[in-house]
Amino acid sequence: MISGATALSFVLICLLGAMAPGPDFLVVTRSAILGGRKAGISAGLGIALGVFVWVVAIALGVAAILTASAIAFTVVKLIGAAYLIFLGVKAWLAVRRGDYSELKDKVAPVIAPKEAFRQGLLTNLLNPKVAMFFLALIPQFLPHSASTAQTLQLAVLATTVAVVWTFVLATLVGSLRRFFSSGRVRRMMDAVMGTFLVGLGIRVAVQN
């Protein structure tokens, strides 16, 4: 078993990593804006599942193969960048269509929780830098003779951090969704989020 002090240190570092602005942050925020708290939380659960898969992959040695192979890393990176750009362009197209309505009494969801979950999961799984982060981090918190069970314990901790943080983020953004009932505000947010997602996708694609 991992000691309490070690587990706490690991949780704090994972929390800082989760709070850093990036693809996961943008996807949860946009899902909560478009679909409310439920959609934001669903996106967060998809991200958390992605985190769990990456850490389990590290335990099995799969992530090590990915980071050791320049070709595999580049392929996954470019697919992930393309997906971020796709989400950004999708937001831009919504701006171009301009089919926003003023929603006074009830804010109808624009994105279903199932779709938000899928976007969160794919955004995380198609980001090889998540694998690199945990591949560099996890060995620092494991003994030399670590068992698979100990690695899985860290996977559960990392997943829990992702769930809690994205729940808080989705709740905060979702609570402000009434503000986003204005068609003008929603159009502006789609334009901003689309720009950030496309820019982030291009950045991921060109970075080594």
Confidence band for 106, pLDDT divided at 50, 70 and 90:
very low
Report yes or no: 167 and 44 within 8 Å, Cβ to Cβ: yes
Instruction: Kindly give, in sequence order, each residue whose CB lies less than 8 Å from that of residue 156, ignoring residues fewer than 6 positions away.
Output: 52
Question: Look-up: residue for tokens 């320049």?
Answer: 70
| Window from 39-43, 47-51, 169-173, 197-201 with minimum mean pLDDT | 197-201
Q: Which of 207 and 163 is assigned the larger pLDDT?
A: 163
Average pLDDT over residues 22-50: 89
- pLDDT at site 105: 41
| Window from 37-41, 44-48, 158-162, 181-185 with minimum mean pLDDT | 181-185
Q: Is the pLDDT of residue 54 over 80?
A: yes
Q: Which of 39 and 152 is assigned the larger pLDDT?
A: 39
pLDDT digits (tens, 9 = 90+) for 169-184: 999 887 776 666 566 7
Contacts 24+ apart (CB under 8 A), 11-15: 11/157, 11/160, 11/161, 13/137, 14/137, 14/157, 14/158, 14/161, 14/162, 15/161, 15/165
Q: Is the pLDDT of residue 107 over 60?
A: no
Average pLDDT over residues 72-86: 80
- pLDDT at site 104: 44
